[in-house]
Amino acid sequence: MIREGVAIEDPKHLLRRFLVEKRWTYTVAISSIILSEIVYVQFPHLLGEFTDLLSRGALSMALVTHYALELLAIGILYVFLYGIGQLLNGRSGRIFEYQLRQKLLAHWETLSTSYYRQRSIGDLLNHAMNDVRAVREALSGGANILTNSIFLLLATLYMTFTTISIKLTLVSMIPILFVPLLVIWWGPKIRVASRQVQESLSDMAEFTEESLSAIRLIKATASEEVEANRFSGQVEKVVHMQMKMIRRSAMFQSFIPLLGSLSFSIALFYGGYLTVYHEIRLGEFVAFTLYLAMIITPLQQIGFVINNFQRASASLMRLSTLLGAIPEIVDADDAVAMTNIHGAIEVRITVFSYADSHHPALQNVNFVVTPGETIGIVGRTGAGKTTLANLLPRIFEPPIGEIFIDGVDVRNIRLSDLREAIAYVPQDGFLFSTTITENIGFSNEEATPEELRQAAKNAAVYEDIMRFREGMETQIGERGVALSGGQKQRVAIARALLKNAPILILDDSLSAVDMNTEKQLIARLQQLRAHKTTIIIAHRLSAVLHADQILVLDDGELVEKGSHEELLQREGIYRTLYDLQQGEREVSV
């Protein structure tokens, strides 16, 4: 059995692949930024020439106008070229963010249910929002600033070497040589702190998601203050981690400007000395100070960018781990395509256990279902009813050679065909926070309005829906909060009926409806699915009285099997449950 695991790959592999795909866009963007810096570094050179002419008294209004127009042209050309580079880099970063989020969701949908038993929704949301954003900020804004800083630095050094003084430039650059050492020593500390911040944000997102999901319980038990105190603890943890990262980032970012200031001090002292002794002209000294001011700015920016890249590296590593998770349930190499499944089922489970449990969830479960039969599955809580239902569509992986549909092992049926042939209504009857129409039509986007209405009628929920002001277009809120429990179950059943699959599984999907509505639903199911297989899991035995076979599970084992009348005569678990529920009904009446 394949388990979810972590792919062993370079955490920057995804980013590298994107950069290769967008290489021409980035080439144009970087080229534009480089050209903008080449234009920009002419600014001090022109001011230096202007200063020399001014000191010699050789300026005229024509020359002043000439230099003013040249400086204006430099400014306009710089803004135009740099703007193109920023636009292309920013756009590419947004595209990468969009693609990465799409890839995350598409990948998550391929993973097995067991994966989500080990991961919280809040943690996954934090990955999709904060980690992806950190990578995008480094890819767009970081790329802009880094390209600008590096090439401005190189262009400035070139101009000082060729137009002013190699000796002055080299002496002034001595403090700057310590920047790479600072990056090597301090960078990993920032990356570790960033990862800790992201992990604490994941914990807070998980806690928030749980609290909001349990808001009714919190209010009903007057536990608002307790929950607020717990949340404060989570926030304090996040603040502590963020302050730790801020301290490290602030120290790193302050050291680089400090080195720049030292460099500037050396340049003023030594450059002033060379100017006084006429080794360089006054205009060259003025130009050099302007060039040095240009160098300090990219040095400050490089510190900021390296911080961003360290945070993005930690986020990219976390995302790479997520995308490296391997689906546990996949098609076999020799999977059979079955597009016309009839609904015959044979189950002969010897023993089945969950991966994280040593206790058998099911054992000695054997039965056969022919197309058109209705099967009822009953038993006490924890008897294994839902587990059995989950094995049929391979939500959990059954053992090889123990579950067959139309005579073929489900492990050998193409997964898409298997699940297309099964309409499954789980216990919670999950609904999306959209309209009733979209919820019912989820399994069939091409369904007509009439088909959607008919499905609602078949599920005995249409009249309830039409009492809402917006009817079928009613927004039902998160997880159907605007509907009652029974309405939610019936909308979920309508969605399954619209699919019209050969096999229908209702996992305790009638528990919240009243007895009269249940009778209407059962009668309608008998009409609609006369030639299709229907499996009804229920705690309330009235939902399965009409079934061709009723299976009784106890502690994961099939202990009784037969029709309602046959099981009543055996004086077993089924008879006990039946008498108990009949007594409760008489008391309620």
CATH superfamily assigned to domain 429-500: P-loop containing nucleotide triphosphate hydrolases (3.40.50.300)
Name the 3-class secondary structure at 561.
strand
| CA–CA separation, 355 and 118 (whole Å) | 12
The answer to whether the beta carbons of residues 465 and 453 sit under 8 Å apart is no
Q: Which pLDDT score, from 0 to 100, does residue 558 have?
A: 93
- Distant-in-sequence, close-in-space partners of 113: CB < 8 Å, separation ≥ 6: 390, 395, 396
Q: Which pLDDT score, from 0 to 100, does residue 587 have?
A: 43
Domains 13-323 and 343-421+501-589 share a fold: no
Q: Which pLDDT score, from 0 to 100, does residue 261 have?
A: 78
Query: Tokens 């009839």 sit at which residue?
Result: 342
Report the candidate in 252, 251, 250, 259 with the shortest Cα–Cα distance to residue 292: 259
For the chain, the structural domain boundaries read 13-323, 343-421+501-589, 429-500
| CA–CA separation, 114 and 130 (whole Å) | 25
Q: Is 426 left (phi over 0), alpha (psi -120 to 50) or beta?
A: beta
| CA–CA separation, 472 and 466 (whole Å) | 7
Domain 13-323 sits in CATH at 1.20.1560.10
282 HSE (CA, 13 A, CB side): 7
Q: Which pLDDT score, from 0 to 100, does residue 6 have?
A: 40
| CA–CA separation, 200 and 19 (whole Å) | 30
Q: Which pLDDT score, from 0 to 100, does residue 589 have?
A: 41
pTM for the full model? 0.69
Neighbouring C-beta atoms of residue 16, cutoff 10 Å: 10
Q: Which pLDDT score, from 0 to 100, does residue 10 have?
A: 45
Query: Tokens 């160098």 sit at which residue?
Result: 295
Q: Is 343-421+501-589 CATH 3.40.50.720?
A: no
Transcribe 16-42 into DSSP letters. HHHHHHTHHHHHHHHHHHHHHHHHHTH
Strand arrangement of the beta sheet that strand 345-352 belongs to: 408-409, 403-405, 345-352, 362-369, 557-562, 549-554, 374-379, 533-537, 503-507, 422-425
Q: Which pLDDT score, from 0 to 100, does residue 557 have?
A: 92
Q: Which pLDDT score, from 0 to 100, does residue 161 have?
A: 84
- Distant-in-sequence, close-in-space partners of 583: CB < 8 Å, separation ≥ 6: none
| CA–CA separation, 271 and 268 (whole Å) | 5
Q: Which pLDDT score, from 0 to 100, does residue 180 have?
A: 67
pLDDT tens per residue, the chain (589 residues)? 334 444 434 446 777 777 888 888 888 988 898 898 888 888 888 888 888 778 777 777 888 888 889 889 988 998 999 889 888 888 888 888 888 888 888 888 888 777 777 777 777 777 778 788 888 888 777 777 777 777 877 888 888 888 888 888 888 878 877 776 776 677 677 777 777 887 787 777 777 767 776 676 676 666 677 778 887 888 888 888 888 888 877 777 777 778 777 887 888 888 888 888 888 888 888 888 888 777 766 766 776 677 677 777 778 877 877 777 788 888 888 888 998 999 999 999 999 988 777 889 999 999 999 998 999 999 888 889 999 999 999 988 898 999 999 999 999 999 989 999 999 998 877 888 888 899 899 878 888 999 999 999 999 889 989 998 888 998 887 767 778 888 888 999 999 999 989 999 999 888 888 888 888 899 999 888 888 999 999 988 988 999 999 999 999 999 999 999 999 988 888 898 888 887 655 444 4
Q: Which pLDDT score, from 0 to 100, does residue 308 have?
A: 75
